[in-house]
Structure 1
Amino acid sequence: MELRVLAYFLAVVDAKNISRAARQLHVSQPTVSRQLQALEDELGVPLFERGSREIQLTSDGLYLANQARQITALVDKTLTNIHQTKTISGTVLIGCGESQMMGTVAQSINTLKHEHPGVQINLFSTDGNTAVERLQAGIFDFAIVMTPMMDHRYNFIRLPGASRWGLLLPKSSPLARQKSISAEQLTNIDLIAPQQKGIDELFENWLGHSTDQFHIISTYNLLYNASILVSAGVGAALCLDNIINTNHTALTFVPLIPTLQSMASLVWLKGRPLSDAASAFLNQLQAAVS
């Protein structure tokens, strides 16, 4: 499977029409059609639904399109990092879970831009699970996660600071007038809970028993949309403090008691060589936390 053929395939997917894709690629329509047919023959599955005016993908076609985008993105990033000048340049992609400890990372990026203006740091906001998956796939250079990475496959740097767990509530809720929420109260509340791996274990250790008593009515991977559910009265979001700015809003954050905190780490895969740009960022962050 050639990268050129994947580029033809993605062009057709985006244009939804072989003729339009051929014009954008500056090749003939028969050339594109032959390449797509050869790709289907190679894979042994149909990639397109025939018979409609616009291209429609089969389930295998949808899967290939998603994989092809990741492959071409990885190739583009690799070529950018290889084709450097004598000064350090290139792109670094960091998958970020929501964390107030991002402040240290931001300060490091600010310092780095003055020392190595040819380095571009790209942040991709997502949940910790997806960040780690894309780190493993080679799409991300680094990931920032809240749960401890006690895994021999990863190196990590613990970021300074910690965040409290609590509930994001409407200010109109009776619980909003409390200074804290107890474990007993937590089991009697409609909860919007984070999807991240390790959360159940974290709260089971805090509770001293299973989280089966939690009444979870919805889950989330990023808190912004969950905050909209809270505003609509769906439930209370179990979350970390200082992710949502509640100033001048109808929401408030109430911490849990006893206090439960999480820390954040920057992680990267052991044994995978880093580009000069990624190494420059890592050196800057290590200097900031030492």
Structure 2
Amino acid sequence: MELRVLRYFQAVVAELNISRAAARLHVSQPTISRQLKDLEDELGVTLFERNGRHIQLTSSGEYFATQANQIIALADKTLANINTAKQISGTVELGSAEARSFLTIAQSIKKLQRHYPKIKTNVISSNANQIRTNLKSGNFDFGVVMEPTDKHDLNFIQLPGESRWGLLVPRNSPLADHDHITLADLEGQNIITSAQHGTINQLQEWYGESTPKFKIVATYNLLYNASLLVSAGVGYALGVDGIINTNQTDLTFIPLAPRLTARTSLVWLKGQRLSEAAHAFLTQLADDLQQPLPAMHQ
């Protein structure tokens, strides 16, 4: 059963006259008559009652007409979506914090690549401060930020999963044999922490004091760079798990206690007009997460 034949049948149903259907489709009348007869033979039913020049659908024909309309509509929609996918092109600029939840973004990018092969995604490692600046300047379409961060002028989708805060220390450190790190363990230590705005406030909430008992000797944007500082003996790095693979290295990661976790969100400017490529990415991610998109101008 071919779509072409179904379209012949659909035209005859609309006209209830083979001559008019043939003129409408720009094919010969014998061609349509032969195709309809072959269709009836294939289905094993009579679709039309014929009385001279006049034809009428049988009950089987009425049922088949409904199904044929649905099949043709689905085929047309699928073809339109494929053509649209071929036409959408461009670049999605995405600034991202280091977080395990970026895997969700990566999986959506993979699907986006399959549906829209002409879309390219640029991922730039960054922190929340830099992401906000680049969103406002238009350099980034989206950002993946570690919470907490100020989102009063941002649309956002919270990503699944969470990361646990801990301390990156050398394996030869006295702290390396600890199951967890407490505030008492940090007292008097040289600490390297994230430069992201809000991190210090989050840590203050964790240790319950306005003045830390440790000394912040350096800050970082990328935990990998912080890990090199730890290896060099500059201090211990506070960060989240799952970023640095400490296997076969001189470092180990020890979680904080009480437990302190962080979540991540995809953010973009409120009122921002997204490109077709950026909107396709956002739609793909929302579909993957089964979340509705925030109201926005598009």
TM-score over 0.5 for the pair: yes
Please report how far the alpha carbon of residue 127 of structure 1 lies from its aligned counterpart in structure 2 after TM superposition.
1.9
Change (3 A) 1:212 1:178: closer
**Alpha-carbon distance between aligned partners in 1 of 2:269 and 2:195, rounded to the nearest angstrom:** 23
Which residue does the alignment assign to 2:154? 154
Amino acid at match of 2:198: G
Which residue does the alignment assign to 1:219? 219
Change (3 A) 1:211 1:288: farther
Cα deviations by residue, 1:30-87 (Å, 9 ceiling, x for unpaired): xxxxxxxxxxxxxxxxxxxxxxxxxxxxxxxxxxxxxxxxxxxxxxxxxxxxxx9971
Which residue does the alignment assign to 1:87? 87
Cα deviations by residue, 1:76-99 (Å, 9 ceiling, x for unpaired): xxxxxxxx9971111000011111
Please report how far the alpha carbon of residue 175 of structure 1 lies from its aligned counterpart in structure 2 after TM superposition.
0.6
Please report how far the alpha carbon of residue 281 of structure 1 lies from its aligned counterpart in structure 2 after TM superposition.
0.2
CA contact (8 A) 2:154 2:270 kept: yes
- For residues 58-207 of structure 1, the aligned pairs below 5 Å read 87-207=87-207
Which residue does the alignment assign to 2:230? 230
CA contact (8 A) 2:86 2:117 kept: no
Change (3 A) 1:211 1:110: farther
Task: Single out whichever of 258-267 and 184-193 deviates more from structure 2.
Answer: 184-193
**Alpha-carbon distance between aligned partners in 1 of 2:86 and 2:166, rounded to the nearest angstrom:** 49
Please report how far the alpha carbon of residue 183 of structure 1 lies from its aligned counterpart in structure 2 after TM superposition.
1.6
- Where do 5+ consecutive residues of structure 1 fail to align? 1-83
Please report how far the alpha carbon of residue 217 of structure 1 lies from its aligned counterpart in structure 2 after TM superposition.
1.2
Please report how far the alpha carbon of residue 214 of structure 1 lies from its aligned counterpart in structure 2 after TM superposition.
2.5
Please report how far the alpha carbon of residue 149 of structure 1 lies from its aligned counterpart in structure 2 after TM superposition.
4.1
* SS at 1:257 equivalent: coil
- Where do 5+ consecutive residues of structure 2 fail to align? 1-83, 291-298
**Alpha-carbon distance between aligned partners in 1 of 2:189 and 2:212, rounded to the nearest angstrom:** 13
Structure of higher CA gyration radius: 2
**Alpha-carbon distance between aligned partners in 2 of 1:152 and 1:104, rounded to the nearest angstrom:** 24
* SS at 1:133 equivalent: helix
**Alpha-carbon distance between aligned partners in 1 of 2:148 and 2:265, rounded to the nearest angstrom:** 7
CA contact (8 A) 1:88 1:119 kept: yes
* SS at 2:203 equivalent: helix
**Alpha-carbon distance between aligned partners in 2 of 1:206 and 1:98, rounded to the nearest angstrom:** 21
Cα deviations by residue, 1:190-236 (Å, 9 ceiling, x for unpaired): 10111110011101111111144321111111111111111111111
CA contact (8 A) 1:203 1:211 kept: no
Which residue does the alignment assign to 2:275? 275
Please report how far the alpha carbon of residue 186 of structure 1 lies from its aligned counterpart in structure 2 after TM superposition.
1.8
CA contact (8 A) 2:159 2:264 kept: yes
Please report how far the alpha carbon of residue 167 of structure 1 lies from its aligned counterpart in structure 2 after TM superposition.
0.5
**Alpha-carbon distance between aligned partners in 2 of 1:211 and 1:91, rounded to the nearest angstrom:** 45
**Alpha-carbon distance between aligned partners in 1 of 2:144 and 2:194, rounded to the nearest angstrom:** 16
CA contact (8 A) 2:128 2:196 kept: yes
CA contact (8 A) 2:192 2:236 kept: yes
**Alpha-carbon distance between aligned partners in 1 of 2:225 and 2:152, rounded to the nearest angstrom:** 34
Change (3 A) 1:232 1:152: closer
* SS at 1:111 equivalent: helix
Task: Single out whichever of 225-234 and 144-153 deviates more from structure 2.
Answer: 144-153
Change (3 A) 1:85 1:264: closer
**Alpha-carbon distance between aligned partners in 2 of 1:211 and 1:129, rounded to the nearest angstrom:** 23
Please report how far the alpha carbon of residue 113 of structure 1 lies from its aligned counterpart in structure 2 after TM superposition.
0.4
**Alpha-carbon distance between aligned partners in 1 of 2:105 and 2:147, rounded to the nearest angstrom:** 17
Cα RMSD over matched residues? 1.5
Aligned residues: 207
**Alpha-carbon distance between aligned partners in 2 of 1:268 and 1:149, rounded to the nearest angstrom:** 13
- For residues 252-271 of structure 1, the aligned pairs below 5 Å read 252-271=252-271
**Alpha-carbon distance between aligned partners in 2 of 1:173 and 1:86, rounded to the nearest angstrom:** 56
Which residue does the alignment assign to 2:249? 249
Which residue does the alignment assign to 1:43? none
**Alpha-carbon distance between aligned partners in 1 of 2:256 and 2:239, rounded to the nearest angstrom:** 10
Percent identity over the alignment is 50
Which residue does the alignment assign to 2:209? 209
Cα deviations by residue, 1:241-288 (Å, 9 ceiling, x for unpaired): 111110111100000000000000000001111001000000111112
Task: Single out whichever of 144-153 and 214-223 deviates more from structure 2.
Answer: 144-153
The 4+ residue runs of structure 1 with deviation greater than 4 A are none
**Normalized against structure 1, the TM-score is what?**
0.69
